[in-house]
Copies of this chain bind each other. A is one copy, B any other.
Amino acid sequence: MSAFSEIQSLVPAIRSGSIRAIARGLSWIEAGGDRAEALSERLYQYTKGSSILGITGAPGAGKSTLVAALIKEIRSRSFTVGVLAVDPSSPFSGGAILGDRIRMNDVSGDEGVFIRSMATRGVLGGLCRAAADGVDLLCASGKDFVIVETVGVGQDEIDIMRLAHTTVVVSVPGLGDEVQALKAGIIEIADIHVVNKADREGASQTIAELQSLLAMKTAGRNGWNPPVLASIATEGVGMSQLLDLIEGHRMFLRTSGEMDRQLRIIAEARVLNIAQHLLAQRFGDSKTGSEGFLRKQIERVVVRELSPHRCAREVFDRTQYKTEQETRLSSNV
């Protein structure tokens, strides 16, 4: 069967929520390439309607347990949910560290839940591209909630969190300073803070610290003040409140007009990311191509005749915008 006719049958199967079809589509997306792009292209029009949640936090904060508990809460309200656990730490081995197998056991046999890990694509921004398409696929499968989970430590994870309508950042009392500091960068993308393992010593102090940190940052918040919630995910404590807060944030996004602004930012970031990827491809082609211009210039950089900056400008000066007339827009179909 050709890839084209496979896509023809896969798209409706994904839309009907078939677990096999969803798994297959995500495998394509993870593998990347033309087939993945063609599938994502076809699915994009059906992505509307899901509530997209980002869940992140320092290693050891109990994100996986919290996601499992939140899934139960979502299911108890008769909503469906898809989870993409994104692991940016293994660009070479392709392994996934998140405890998805454990969680899978909790919910196996439930057709209303789909959980999947996705590992780094090994190229700049590649994981974020694949994660964005994976989230789209889960949205197109008709899930009420789509959760994207990362270990919140780097720029990649922050970019991935930006795909979400509502971002939940999970902290935990009593982690070492350096580990805690890792979440400094993601504090500012949090719409909701959860202090998990709230029965541990130091929980109230962690909550107080977060709240005083947030009190300094009310400006620029566009009217939403991120609440701080205590939870004990292993016992399901706080999950009902968490889902209420998530629904409340969604309501806020819709009534304030923030949702439109956010969707625009997401779209711009995705388009730029893909365009940069296309540049990298062209770069790769020209590097190995017969012309050898770029290859010669790289050699000049190696021997320090030419700086990387100037070489990049030369490469880039060879590209230019066509005028609108010259460009036959492929979108008019």
Given contacts A44-B304, A185-B120, A330-B310, contact A264 B93 (CB under 8 A): no
Given contacts A44-B307, A154-B156, contact A60 B317 (CB under 8 A): no
Stretch of A108-116, A243-251, A274-282 contacting B (4+ beta carbons < 8 Å): A274-282
Q: Kindly identify, within residues 241 to 288 of chain A, every residue whose CB is under 8 Å from any CB belonging to chain B.
A: 260, 263-264, 267-268, 270-280, 282-283, 286-287
Residue from the set A45, A154, A310, A327 with the largest chain B CB neighbour count within 10 Å: A154
Q: Kindly identify, within residues 291 to 316 of chain A, every residue whose CB is under 8 Å from any CB belonging to chain B.
A: 291, 293, 297-302, 304-316
Stretch of A72-80, A83-91, A202-210 contacting B (4+ beta carbons < 8 Å): A83-91
Copy number in the complex reads 2
CA of A273 to CA of B286, assembled, Å = 15
Given contacts A41-B307, A268-B287, contact A274 B312 (CB under 8 A): yes
Q: Which of B40, B176, B267, B327 contacts A60 (CB 8 A)?
A: B176
User: Judging by beta carbons under 8 Å apart, are A188 and B321 in contact?
Assistant: no
Q: Which of B155, B274, B327 contacts A154 (CB 8 A)?
A: B155
Given contacts A41-B309, A184-B89, A319-B320, contact A59 B330 (CB under 8 A): no
Q: List B contacts of A97 (CB < 8 A).
A: 178, 181-182, 184
CA of A292 to CA of B156, assembled, Å = 29
Q: List B contacts of A329 (CB < 8 A).
A: 314
Q: List B contacts of A159 (CB < 8 A).
A: 124
CA of A44 to CA of B302, assembled, Å = 10
User: Please, how many residues of chain A have a CB less than 8 angstroms from a CB on the other chain?
Assistant: 92
Residue from the set A47, A277, A317 with the largest chain B CB neighbour count within 10 Å: A317
Residue from the set A263, A277, A306, A307 with the largest chain B CB neighbour count within 10 Å: A307
User: Judging by beta carbons under 8 Å apart, are B155 and A300 in contact?
Assistant: no
Q: List B contacts of A149 (CB < 8 A).
A: none
Q: Judge whether A95 is part of the interface by a CB distance below 8 angstroms.
A: yes
Smallest beta-carbon distance A233→chain B, Å: 15
Q: Which of B276, B299, B301 contacts A279 (CB 8 A)?
A: B276
Given contacts A268-B298, A310-B331, contact A322 B320 (CB under 8 A): yes
User: Judging by beta carbons under 8 Å apart, are A330 and B314 in contact?
Assistant: yes
User: Judging by beta carbons under 8 Å apart, are A330 and B302 in contact?
Assistant: no
Smallest beta-carbon distance A288→chain B, Å: 11
Q: List B contacts of A298 (CB < 8 A).
A: 264, 267-268, 271
CA of A279 to CA of B40, assembled, Å = 23
Given contacts A274-B308, A309-B40, A310-B41, contact A279 B185 (CB under 8 A): no
Given contacts A45-B304, A155-B88, contact A271 B181 (CB under 8 A): no
Q: Judge whether A158 is part of the interface by a CB distance below 8 angstroms.
A: yes
User: Judging by beta carbons under 8 Å apart, are A302 and B179 in contact?
Assistant: no
Q: Which of B154, B264, B319, B320 contacts A88 (CB 8 A)?
A: B154
Smallest beta-carbon distance A210→chain B, Å: 14
A-B contact pairs, 12 of them (CB 8 A): A93-B188, A120-B185, A124-B276, A154-B157, A270-B301, A275-B316, A276-B276, A277-B312, A279-B279, A318-B327, A319-B320, A320-B322
Closest 3 CB pairs of A and B: A154-B154, A274-B312, A319-B319
